[in-house]
């Protein structure tokens, strides 16, 4: 660090240069994040100093967080004072870590606990395994890439404390059979965490019959991320438990703060993300999100039918706005799409397919351009 600072203009010019090196989302088909809604950005900037790590100083922002939790509750069929059952995290990773931590703390009687989850679970669960020493057992998937229930059953033993199901897998956008997992969980006395980091802001606005949230009796906690399909600013995540006691299992004594206990993983926590999430959820309402999701699903169908016309099939029929295309030599195609045309796509692990996330920043002409370029490569 230099002894003497530099001028505001110089700083702004450095920032502008750095920003110009970043990728704009226009040709990004690999991200679950997108441009936040304008009202989210406005709210974010107005609450930039608010620290939810010391909520006694920020009762106004704290009140907004409670309102957001009530809105999550209404989206996810939680009828038991949702405002007392969760908090706004930094994202899906923190929510998943905390959900597992809560299970472990509630079952201190088990010395070597394990949690059973699908192979398709996000790598954030590997982080919690690494942090806490808990064993993560990965169940195999069926041919539609949902978790295989027989595999789940075969992995459960006396040290199993919980199960995880995914509502919107990272790679394929598939939904695990949450109702069946719930039956197993209730039968065996296990916790059941549902990771709806992506699906939480997609599924409630689609006309499909899926039961994946708190209306399913065995579901004990859920992850839902406003900074993905919720159009909020980064870092906005959500964690909701069925009962306030599960949140209590995360509490740590905080001797010198405006509050005596803290349940979040981070200490200092963004109030800006709280205000931003409140603003965009209130502003869009269900109607607004429905039209965002409708548009993404419309584009998803366009990509699927365009790919079919090129002789390319999807790995599964897309459930949400995530498409995996069975393209031969997917890794090469991915590289060429980027090098020759500037498209950012990703690759699924098994099978290796071209993965596209159709976020709200993807316009209809984008799909046409993408399909045109893909045609040149296959």
SS3 for 175? strand
Q: What's the closest the beta carbon of residue 376 comes to ligand 0PR, in angstroms?
A: 25
Per-residue exposure over 329-353, b if at least 16 CB sit within 10 Å of its own CB, e if not = ebeebbebbeeeeebbbbbbeeebb
Segment 70 to 99, residues that bind ligand 0PR, using CB under 6 A: 91-93, 96
Q: How far apart are CA 323 and CA 82, in angstroms?
A: 33
In degrees to the nearest 10, what's the CA dihedral of 117, 227, 172, 151? 10
For ligand 0PR, give the closer residue by CB, 34 or 58: 34
- Our CB check for ligand 0PR shows the closer of 65 and 195 to be 195
Q: Which is nearer to ligand 0PR, 184 or 345 (CB)?
A: 345
- Which residue number, 198 or 205, has a Cβ lying nearer to ligand 0PR? 198
Size of the site for ligand 0PR (CB under 6 A): 17
- Give burial (CB, 10 Å; 0-12/13-18/19+) of 136: middle
Indicate which single residue of 83, 176, 195, 302 sits in contact with ligand 0PR (rule: CB under 6 A): 195
- Six token digits for residue 309: 């016309």
Helices marked H in 249-329 — which ranges? Answer: 271-309
Nearer to ligand 0PR, 92 or 271 (CB): 92
E strand map for the chain: 86-89, 114-118, 135-139, 160-166, 191-196, 221-224, 237-241, 252-253, 261-262, 322-325, 346-347, 354-357
Of the pair 23, 258, the CB lying nearest ligand 0PR is at 23
For residues 146 and 118, give the distance between their C-alpha atoms in angstroms, rounded to a whole number: 8
Please tell me whether residue 113 adopts helix, strand or coil conformation.
coil
CA-based radius of gyration for the chain:
22
Q: Which is nearer to ligand 0PR, 54 or 102 (CB)?
A: 102
Our CB check for ligand 0PR shows the closer of 58 and 360 to be 360
Q: Give backbone dihedrals phi and psi of 235, rounded to 5 degrees, phi first.
A: -105, 105
198, 205, 263, 278: which one contacts ligand 0PR (CB under 6 A)? Answer: 198
351 upstream amide cis, omega within 30 of 0:
yes
| Shortest reach from residue 97's CB to ligand 0PR, in Å | 9
Task: Give 25 or 341: the residue with its C-beta nearer to ligand 0PR.
Answer: 25
Task: Tokens for 120, please give them.
Answer: 């398709």
Residues of this chain, 119-148, that bind ligand 0PR according to CB under 6 A: 122, 124
Q: Is the dihedral of CA 180, 186, 191, 197 positive or negative?
A: positive
Indicate whether 241 belongs to the interface with ligand 0PR (CB under 6 A).
no
Cα first-last separation, the chain: 51
For 260, phi and psi rounded to 5 degrees?
-95, -10
Least distance (Å) between residue 91 CB and ligand 0PR: 3
Please identify, using beta-carbon distances, which residue of 98 and 182 lies nearer to ligand 0PR.
Answer: 98
Window 15-54: contact mask with ligand 0PR (x via CB under 6 A): ----------------xxx---------------------
- Judged by CB under 6 A, the chain residues 143 through 172 that form the site for ligand 0PR are 166, 168, 170
CB of 255 to ligand 0PR, least distance (A): 30
Nearest distance from C-beta of residue 231 to ligand 0PR, angstroms: 14
Segment lying near ligand 0PR (by CB under 6 A), choices 141-149, 155-163, 193-201, 291-299: 193-201
Residues 6+ apart with CB under 8 A from 255: none
Minimum Å distance from CB 359 to ligand 0PR?
9
Q: What are phi and psi of 163, to 5 degrees?
A: -125, 155
Minimal distance, residue 59 CB to ligand 0PR, in Å: 27
- As measured in angstroms, the least distance from the Cβ of 346 to ligand 0PR is 7
Q: State the minimum distance, in angstroms, from the CB of residue 122 to ligand 0PR.
A: 4
Which residues contact ligand 0PR by CB under 6 A? 31-33, 91-93, 96, 122, 124, 166, 168, 170, 195, 197-198, 225, 237
């Amino acid at each position: 660090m230099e002894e003497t600072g530099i001028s505001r203009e110089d700083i702004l010019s450095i920032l502008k240069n750095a920003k110009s090196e970043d990728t704009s989302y226009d040709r990004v088909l690999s991200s679950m994040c997108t441009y936040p809604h304008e009202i989210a950005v406005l709210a974010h900037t107005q609450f930039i100093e608010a620290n939810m790590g010391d909520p006694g100083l920020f009762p106004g922002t704290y009140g907004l967080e409670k309102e957001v939790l009530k809105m999550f509750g209404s989206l996810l069929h939680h009828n038991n004072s949702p405002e007392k059952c969760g908090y706004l995290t930094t994202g899906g990773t923190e929510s998943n870590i905390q959900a597992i931590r809560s299970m472990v703390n509630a079952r201190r009687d088990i010395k070597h606990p394990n949690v059973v989850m699908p192979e398709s679970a996000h790598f954030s669960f590997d982080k919690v395994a690494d942090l806490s020493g808990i064993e993560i057992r990965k169940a195999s998937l069926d041919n539609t890439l949902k978790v295989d229930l027989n595999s789940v059953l075969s992995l459960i033993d006396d040290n199993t404390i919980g199960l995880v199901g995914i509502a919107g897998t990272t790679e394929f956008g598939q939904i695990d059979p949450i109702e069946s997992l719930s039956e197993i969980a209730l039968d065996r006395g296990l916790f059941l965490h549902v990771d709806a980091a992506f699906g939480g802001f997609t599924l409630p606005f689609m006309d499909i019959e899926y039961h994946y949230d708190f209306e399913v009796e065995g579901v004990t906690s859920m992850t839902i991320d406003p900074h993905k399909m919720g159009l909020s600013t980064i870092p906005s995540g959500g964690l909701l438990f069925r009962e306030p006691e599960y949140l209590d299992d995360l509490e740590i004594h905080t001797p010198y703060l405006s509050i005596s206990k803290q349940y979040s993983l981070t200490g200092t926590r963004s109030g800006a993300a709280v205000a931003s999430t409140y603003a965009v959820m209130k502003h869009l309402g269900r109607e607004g999100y429905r039209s965002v999701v409708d548009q993404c699903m419309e584009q998803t169908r366009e990509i699927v039918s365009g790919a079919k016309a090129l002789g390319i099939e999807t790995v599964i029929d897309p459930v949400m706005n995530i498409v995996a295309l069975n393209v031969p030599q997917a890794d090469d195609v991915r590289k060429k799409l980027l090098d020759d045309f500037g498209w950012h796509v990703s690759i699924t692990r098994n099978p290796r397919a071209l993965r596209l996330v159709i976020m709200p920043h993807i316009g209809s002409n984008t799909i046409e351009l993408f399909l045109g370029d893909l045609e040149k490569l296959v």
